[in-house]
Structure 1
Amino acid sequence: MRNLVLIMQLKAMNKVNSVKEALKSKSGEGFVDTAVKILMSVVIGALVLGGLYLLFKDTVLPTLTQRIKDMFNFKG
């Protein structure tokens, strides 16, 4: 019985020491860093998609629709 108590005490002390080390540690990535990275990628992605939409809306789509109309109105 005494050995069981000693084993449990050692396990508890090891857990306490590992928690202390984890709290003292200054390395690693936190939740705030990850949230900022995700937010930055979403904003940059939205800007890229907005730019592509503007490019296709003003430049590509009018010429594309005109080419399609010309292709089907072929008089041969």
Structure 2
Amino acid sequence: MKRAIAKTNDFITNKAIAIKSATSNNRGEGYIDTAIKILISVVLGALLLAGLYMLFGDVVMPTLNERITDMFNYAG
């Protein structure tokens, strides 16, 4: 009987150690970390794209149209 109790006690102790090591393990990258990285990338990309659209719409395109008109203005 003592041998069965000792064997059960060892089994429970080993399982408790395995569970503790699994729950305290912080080696892997979690889903939350990955989701936050993707969200930050998407937001920064959208801001960059909006800035480029604003720059091209207000600054580059009118100047480009003016220069092309001046280049092909044969009247003088």
Query: How high is the TM-score relative to the length of structure 2?
Result: 0.63
Matched residue pairs, number? 60
1:70 aligns with 2:70: yes
1:26 aligns with 2:48: no
The offset of 1:75, in angstroms, is 3.9
The offset of 1:18, in angstroms, is 7.5
1:50 aligns with 2:50: yes
The offset of 1:21, in angstroms, is 4.4
Distance in 2 between residues matched to 1:18 and 1:49, nearest whole Å: 49
The offset of 1:71, in angstroms, is 1.4
**Runs of 4+ displaced beyond 3 Å:** 17-24
1:39 aligns with 2:36: no
What is the CA RMSD across the aligned residues, in angstroms? 2.4
Query: How high is the TM-score relative to the length of structure 1?
Result: 0.63
Give the 3 Å change call, closer, same or farther, for CA 20–64 of structure 1 in structure 2: same
What corresponds to 2:12 in structure 1? none
The offset of 1:55, in angstroms, is 1.0
- Any stretches of 5+ residues in structure 2 without a counterpart? 1-16
Amino acid at match of 1:34: T
- Report the secondary structure of 1:48's partner residue: helix
**Larger CA Rg, structure 1 vs 2:** 2
